[in-house]
Amino acid sequence: AEAEAVVGEEEVGEDEVETKLVFQEDLNELYTNNMALVFFIYTWFFTNLLVFMMFGGGMPMMYVLGLLHFTVGYFSYKFLFISFYRKSYGFDEEIPLYSVKLMKWALFFHLLMILFMYTNKRLLTPPVYDTDIHYRPPAEPADKFFQRRYDTFSNFTVLLVVLALMVFYVFWRFIILSIINVCRIRSQRKKSRNEGNYTNDTAGAQDQAEFRKQ
């Protein structure tokens, strides 16, 4: 077959290379697409997570926007990972597992912002709200500032709930989980010890049976 195709001003054969790239490495870069910028994806994800969690307490619409954002982002990047990006090296389960540990900080900022938003008397005005509360004195000492902020039943209740959640997390993280881990380790050791004894007893019985046959 002497069929030839004309490309620009040059005539090339049917089996000849038509690319302008000289090196095979450059050709591979062209046809395999770019690697995913994993650091950018996770940075973008956690930035939005912190924003939605920080301001979601005072603006519930942020939860809807966050759900929409993460749903669209999940399916978009899933499609890009399968159909566009090439396989990225240096990306394994370590980053996702580490990122899950960082999500607790989003909850911490969420509780902190809820504490300040729900106890702000300028936003949620109490029945006894007056000009003295609105125009609080400038450069007020910290003790008087917090005393005035939590002097109503509703604000004090919000403070107690947030503190109770934090105390519960500390108790769960450092006491309950430690007890669970100790029990699990002891159970695994006991199980492995029983399996080892069973294996030794079985091997000894088989040796005795073979000795009797001899």
Tell me the per-residue pLDDT of 88-119, one tens digit each, with 9 for 90 and over: 766 777 877 888 887 878 788 888 888 888 88
- The residue whose two tokens read 């910028």 is 37
Non-local CB neighbours of 14 within 8 Å, separated by 6+ positions: 1, 3, 4, 5
Asked if residue 189 lies in contact with residue 182, where contact means CB atoms within 8 angstroms, the answer is no
* Claim: this prediction has a pTM higher than 0.85: no
Residue 166 has a pLDDT of 86
β-strands 4-7, 10-13: how paired?
Answer: antiparallel
Length of the chain (residues): 214
- The residue whose two tokens read 């950018």 is 40
Query: Where are the chain's structural domains?
Result: 4-213
Inter-residue long-range contacts of 51-55, CB under 8 Å, 24+ positions, other chains counted: 53/106, 53/107, 53/109, 53/110, 54/109, 54/110, 54/113, 55/113
The span from the CA of 60 to the CA of 53, in Å, is 10
Residue 194 has a pLDDT of 80
The letter for the amino acid at 37 is L
Asked if residue 41 lies in contact with residue 77, where contact means CB atoms within 8 angstroms, the answer is yes
Top mean-pLDDT range of 88-97, 136-145, 147-156, 170-179: 170-179
Residue 179 has a pLDDT of 92
pLDDT: is 211 or 38 the higher one?
A: 38
Instruction: Name the token pair of 70.
Output: 């993460």
Asked if residue 14 lies in contact with residue 4, where contact means CB atoms within 8 angstroms, the answer is yes
The neighbour count for residue 175, using CB atoms within 10 Å, is: 10
